[in-house]
Amino acid sequence: MKVMLLGAPGAGKGTVAKLLTALDGSVQISTGDILRAEVRAGSDLGKKAEAFMKAGDLVPDSLIMDMMEKRLQADDCRQGFLLDGFPRTIPQAEALKKLLAKLKIDLDMVINIDVPREVILDRLCTRRTCANANCQAIYNVKSNPTKKEGICDKCGSPVIQRDDETEAAISQRLSTYNAKTAPLIGYYEREGKFRNIPCTSSDDVVKAVKETLGL
């Protein structure tokens, strides 16, 4: 499948993407994950992106488009892909439209994961991530805590709150989302193949995608 997942930070795009990849071998393309890996590797891109990410701001469109032009041409995308966290601005959406036309790729559908704001805020403030770059397991202090406090069940590394998941950064990320990313909903409604899915659980989204794509 070739699907775009829209939704505020904390809406569950990553969780939904992982569940959908298991259905047909499509790959998850998370611009946030790629950028975090670049920051860890200390690459040029990582150095340019780091300050924006820490502050909860968006990384400039030109850097994202260069990165995505390469990513979408990798062999593993032929089977299909789930765009998770991209595009995030109208200029990225316009550039993506041109890029997909150039690569002769048709998207099957654009999904907006529509989760109430209170649920999102609660999820983001209580999320914890394993600090080990090769593990990155995700926990939640309320709904999915580690067995031993602060220690990853899978690899034993410390479990931390991401730099951009402090209260100040979360509030900045949500304002950035409202100002720059939420307008994509209207944009894709007009472009077609758009489906809004009001939900509080990732399973509801997976069900709706399966129904729409006949999987």
Pick the closer one to ligand AMP by CB: 94 or 211: 94
Q: Applying CB under 6 A, does 120 fall inside the site for ligand AMP?
A: no
Closest CA to 184 of 50, 2, 7: 7
Options 36, 123, 128, 173, the catalytic residue: 173
Of 4, 58, 110, 199, which one interacts with ligand AMP (CB under 6 A)?
58
Nearest 5°: the CA angle 189, 195, 197 is: 130
Q: Give 206's Cβ-side CA count (13 Å radius).
A: 15
> Which pair of tokens denotes residue 99?
């890029």
- Choose the stretch contacting ligand AMP; rule: CB under 6 A; options: 15-23, 31-39, 125-133, 203-211: 31-39
Q: Which residues contact 166 (CB under 8 A, 6 or more apart)?
A: none
Let me know if 13 is a catalytic residue. Answer: yes
User: CB of residue 2 vs ligand AMP: minimum separation in angstroms?
Assistant: 17
Closest CA to 107 of 38, 49, 171, 26: 26
Pick the closer one to ligand AMP by CB: 109 or 164: 164
Name the residues that contact ligand AMP, by CB under 6 A.
9, 31-32, 35, 52-53, 56-59, 64, 85-88, 92, 164, 173
- Supply the residues annotated as catalytic: 13, 88, 127, 162, 173
